[in-house]
Amino acid sequence: MTVMTDRPQMLTEEFETVARIAAREVEGLRFEFINGKLGVKAVPDGGHGAIIEWLTRICMQSRPELWLFAEQGIKIQQYRGGRARPDGLLAPSGSIAGQGEWVDPEPALMVVEVTSYDTDTDTDARDRHEKPRGYAETGIPVYLLIDRDACEVTVHSEPDGSRYESVRTVPFGKDIALPEPVGIALRTEPLKDWVR
């Protein structure tokens, strides 16, 4: 007997309906649909919010024509109809207006994920493995992972349509460059204040 492992759990349209109903019925519940699988995104804590605030300030000061949209849904994995809700989506200001809950990835220069402290073992698979692949397949130029468990920042760049060819990781406290088209330097020392 052949088992179909590449079949999605549901159609993209079904996922969008489930996600919309769940968001209306349960406060703080956020779903994603990556690699054909339904996933639940953890509710952010105060440290998580402080990191997004810190990164938003840096982006505004360095590139005022851009905006870091927090928790904006984005269409990924064009062949699978994936849907992700990154913690941050860096794009030109005003570029996603009028698109609804799940925006087109075309204007995205960078997506950001900040790991959450939760008991969900899927965080490792989603943020560290599935999302980099999904974002690279979509052609998003830069994926920034701020990993509070490992106290590291990882910058993925140069998507080739299936993966990021360049991956650079530094511990919190070391500076790291976000390559073009982002072109911003990050001093990561403040991140030490927002970990357990």
pLDDT tens, position by position, 153-187: 999 999 999 999 999 999 999 999 999 999 999 99
φ, ψ for residue 128, nearest 5 deg: -100, -20
Q: Is 143 inside any structural domain? A: yes
Q: Is 90 inside any structural domain? A: yes
**Contact status, residue 31 vs residue 15, Cβ threshold 8 Å:** yes
For residue 87, how many other CB atoms are within 10 A of its CB?
25
- What is the distance between the alpha carbons of residues 192 and 196, in angstroms, rounded to a whole number? 9
Beginning with the edge strand found earlier in the chain, give each strand of the sheet holding 152-159 in spatial order: 66-70, 88-92, 110-114, 142-147, 152-159, 164-171
Q: Is 23 inside any structural domain? A: no
Q: Is 62 inside any structural domain? A: yes
- Of the pLDDT bands very low, low, confident and very high (cuts 50, 70, 90), residue 119 is low
Domain around 77? 44-194
Q: Is 36 inside any structural domain? A: no
Q: Is 2 inside any structural domain? A: no
**Average pLDDT score over residue span 3-15:** 61
Number of domains in the chain: 1
Question: What is the CATH classification number for the domain harbouring 168?
Answer: 3.90.1570.10
- What is the distance between the alpha carbons of residues 178 and 144, in angstroms, rounded to a whole number? 8
Q: Is 22 inside any structural domain? A: no
CA distances 102 to 41, 56, 81, Å, are: 15, 21, 11
pLDDT of residue 129: 77
pLDDT tens, position by position, 15-55: 677 777 676 676 666 777 677 676 777 667 788 899 999 99
Residue 96 has pLDDT above 90, yes or no: yes
Residue 3 has pLDDT above 60, yes or no: no
Q: Is 105 inside any structural domain? A: yes
pLDDT of residue 80: 56
What is the 3-state secondary structure of the chain? CCCCCCCCCCCHHHHHHHHHHHHHHCCCCEEEEECCEEEEECCCCHHHHHHHHHHHHHHHHHCCCEEEEECCEEEECCCCCEEECCCEEEEECCCCCCCCCEECCCCCCEEEEECCCCCCCHHHHHHHHHHHHHHHHHCCCEEEEEECCCCEEEEEEEECCCCEEEEEEEECCCEEEECCCCCEEEECHHHHHHCC
- Of the pLDDT bands very low, low, confident and very high (cuts 50, 70, 90), residue 2 is very low
Q: What is the pTM of this model?
A: 0.83
